[in-house]
Amino acid sequence: MTGAETVVQILADEGVGVVFGYSGGAILPTYDAIFRYNRENGSEGAIDPMQLIVPANEQAAGFMAAGYSRASGKVGVCLVTSGPGATNTVTPVRDCMADSIPMVVICGQVPTGAVGTDAFQEAPISSIMGAAAKHVFLVTDPKKLEATVRTAFEIARTGRPGPVVVDIPKDVQNWSGPFDGQTTLPIPGYRARLKAVQDNLVSDDAAANFHEMLRQSKRPLIYAGGGVIHGGAAESLRRFSETFGIPVTTTLMGIGAVDTTDPLCLQMLGMHGTAFANYATDDCDFLIAVGARFDDRVAGVPGKFARGAKWIAHLDVDASEINKVKRVHWHHVGELVPALDKLFAHAREQGFDPRKDGSYADWHAHIADLKKTYAMNYERGGEHIQPHAVIEAINRITKGEAIVATGVGQHQMWAAQYFDFKQPRLWLTSGSMGTMGFGLPAAIGAQFAHPDRIVIDIDGDASIRMNMGELETATTYNTPVKIVVLNNYGDGMVKQWQRLFFESRFSGSDKSLHRKDFVKAAEADGYAFAKRVDNKDDLDRVVREFVEFDGPAFLEVIIDPMASVYPMVGPGMAYEQMITGDWIPSRNAVTREKVDPTSTQMF
């Protein structure tokens, strides 16, 4: 096989059915190999066995691959050319690294002999991507191409998942040689570390120590992160929580790990988490962190986080996360499913049954009271459409079963707060990086992962314009993605911070495209359903038409430009200082105090 054919055959062997990418000179041999593979392996009238989806921009290709991965759990694949094609994928690569998303990016590169000469469309991808990706390969020996690409998939999906970049010079793609079908690179150090984590099971003594803390606890709380979803541990976590009656709160990335409609679910905690989740975190006496990393959006002031906890336990697959931010009393580094199952089995063996003996009755009553007293709420009167109402209208139809992608900003937080998610991998958002422009391409990628599911992009007027060219990608491939733009004419989250902390000096944040007619833009890109709602009385009717439309649909909703995201834990603040706004009570009567932006992290 040629090198290009080798790459395509490995993609097929890995079960890759969709590739997202943009062509160019240095990657043309591989694009041609995909064309020939589909012609040789497809049947007339059927979908190509390896679909090649072409976006408007390589950044969007990376986010499509990420959306595909987040929704399916499989490794997403992005195929781009050299130079600007590859550098355009730096942001999605870093985004995947920050959120532990498995992706393989295959880049074309100038011929081996031209590397380092500043050849046309050359960029030092190994150096550029080295700090952003889980691993980077530059293939200079064509005999190692097969092993390298196969190993890239292994590294991307194993351990703590992440993006792997493979930079392949054009002459390596054109080279011909034998295809082995099974070779991998010798990476003994990585595999040894991986095996150590896989083999590290919870010992009987460790389980007994954990159980003793749980037995003594009167107010236990599970704090679940994205690792639960990446590790396929949602079922084990739910069984543990439901059997023993332990409430659960999740991070932004952990949404869906437990059913958000379950009485034991406190939804999201943190900077824009529910007030009742944050108060419960303060009130618990035993915090059990599972696949979470105590990041600054959750534990903004580590010394005051979970301030009432006598014990903190931490289960994670990555040893570097243990005691990195918050000191814990018990920890386990290993795969989450066997760890949770061991702790569950040990507790059952000890006859632990708090639901039967009523050990947590007072705690459950306290949780129920928190959820009732400090329930999510917003202004329901007035003439403006509130963004929360838009989310609720969609949620009444989709009932927690839709795949929801978002951009980044206020709309992202409103979606996290007001949508229901009954299963994992229904919530797709850029967490750690907070990348505007993520929502639309991620939704398209998710739609290819699940062609028969309802996929909705909740976006903002500022966020969507960063990758607005992908509106046409959705119609080109007739993907029935449903796109909502909550238009408040500006960078809403930035303006909220400026109102709270900078005396309403809207420096650079009121720069949205005020003259932009989103509906006409969508119509120009082929949307048969493209509507705008600016009257509250029309909202429910149009939302139902929008969701039920058969095909790509676009909906712009003109929302209250002063709507804010509450609750909010400001930078450098503890949960007791949480700002709840005008419509959610606060048990500490916190005022909207000013914060010195020079002494804290802005976002």
**Could you tell me if residue 596 is inside a domain?**
no
Together in a domain, 187 and 236: no
The tens digit of pLDDT for each residue in 503-522 reads 888 888 876 667 889 999 99
- Smallest Cα–Cα separation from 61: which of 81, 47, 79? 79
Residue 26 backbone dihedrals phi, psi, to 5 degrees: -75, -10
Report d(CA 432, CA 411) in Å as an integer: 16
pLDDT tens digits along 110-166: 999 999 999 999 999 999 999 999 999 999 999 999 999 999 999 999 999 999 999
Q: Are residues 346 and 439 in the same domain?
A: no
Query: Could you tell me the pLDDT band of residue 590, with boundaries at 50, 70 and 90?
Result: low
Q: Which pLDDT band holds residue 595 (cuts at 50, 70, 90)?
A: very low
Task: Please tell me whether the peptide bond between 571 and the residue prior to it is cis, using omega within 30 degrees of 0.
Answer: no
How many Å apart are CA 132 and CA 206, to the nearest integer? 36
Q: Judge whether residue 431 has pLDDT over 70.
A: yes
The CA–CA distances, whole Å, from 486 to 7, 347, 383, 399 equal 41, 47, 16, 20
**In which order are the strands placed within the sheet that holds 163-169?**
51-53, 18-22, 76-80, 103-109, 163-169, 135-138
Mean pLDDT within 558-563: 94
Same domain, 171 and 223: no
Tokens 């289960």 sit on residue: 315
Does residue 181 sit within a domain?
Answer: yes
Domain contains 162: yes
Domain count, the chain: 3
Mean pLDDT, rounded, for 351-363: 94
CATH number of the structural domain spanning residue 488: 3.40.50.970
Phi-psi map region of 15: left, alpha, beta (phi>0 left; psi -120 to 50 alpha):
left
Residue 97 lies in a domain: yes
Range of the domain at 84: 3-196
- 104 and 65 within one domain: yes
- Average pLDDT of the chain is 95
Residue 323's CATH number? 3.40.50.1220
- For residues 539 and 535, what is the distance between their CA atoms, to the nearest angstrom? 7
Asked if residue 300 and residue 218 are part of one domain, the reply reads: yes
Q: Is residue 125 part of a domain?
A: yes
> Which of 314, 341, 373 corresponds to the end of one domain?
373
User: Which residue is listed with tokens 């079922």?
Assistant: 235
Q: Based on the fold, state whether residues 85 and 208 are members of the same structural domain.
A: no
pLDDT-derived band of residue 248, with 50, 70 and 90 as boundaries?
very high
For residue 492, the model assigns a pLDDT of 85
Across the range 550-566, mean pLDDT stands at: 96
Average pLDDT over residues 219-224: 98
Quick one: 322 and 418 in the same domain? no
Q: Determine the average pLDDT of the residues in 562-576.
A: 93
Are the C-beta atoms of residues 561 and 586 closer than 8 Å to each other? no
Domain boundary residue, one of 167, 196, 225: 196
In a domain, residue 577? The reply is no
Q: Give me the phi and psi of 388, to 5 degrees please.
A: -60, -40
Distance CA 103, CA 155 (A): 10
Encode pLDDT of 452-499 as tens digits. Answer: 999 999 999 999 999 999 999 999 999 999 999 999 988 888 888 888
Catalytic residues: 58, 120-121, 170, 493
Q: What is the mean pLDDT of residues 523-544?
A: 97
Structural domain includes residue 589: no
Pair (294, 319) in one structural domain = yes
Say if residue 299 is in the same domain as residue 432: no
Task: Give buried/exposed letters for 434-467 (b at 16+ CB in 10 A, else e).
Answer: bbbbbbbbbbbbbbbbeeeebbbbbbbbbbbbbb
Give the integer Cα–Cα distance in Å for 183 and 150.
Answer: 8
pLDDT for position 540: 97
Burial group, residue 117, by CB count within 10 angstroms (0-12, 13-18, 19+): exposed
Per the domain annotation, does 567 fall within a domain? Answer: no
Q: How many residues does the chain have?
A: 603
Per-residue model confidence as pLDDT tens digits over 84-109: 999 999 999 999 999 999 999 999 99
Structure tokens at 32: 């041609």
Query: Is pTM, for the whole model, over 0.85?
Result: yes
Q: What is the DSSP string of 475-488?
A: HHTT---EEEEEE-
End-to-end Cα separation, the chain, in angstroms: 50
User: Do 184 and 234 fall within a single domain?
Assistant: no
What is the tens place of the pLDDT at every residue in 252-267? Answer: 999 999 999 999 999 9
Contact at 8 Å (CB) between 498 and 504?
yes
Q: Check if the beta carbon of residue 67 is closer than 8 Å to that of residue 457.
A: no
Angle (deg, nearest 10), helices 28-41 and 3-13: 50
Q: ∠475-476-481 over CA atoms, to 5°?
A: 35
Cα(576)–Cα(391) distance, integer angstroms:
28
> Tokens standing for 158?
């194993």
pLDDT(233) > 70 = yes
Q: Does 257 lie in the same domain as 188?
A: no
- 413, 315: one domain: no
Say what percent of the chain tops pLDDT 90: 91
Helices and strands of the chain, counted as H and E runs: 24, 18
Helix ranges (DSSP H) in 287-353? 336-349
Strand partners, 20: 53, 78
Domain end position, chosen among 196, 217, 245: 196
Q: Which residues, 6+ apart, have CB-to-CB distance to 75 below 8 Å?
A: 14, 16, 69, 102, 103, 104, 153, 156, 157
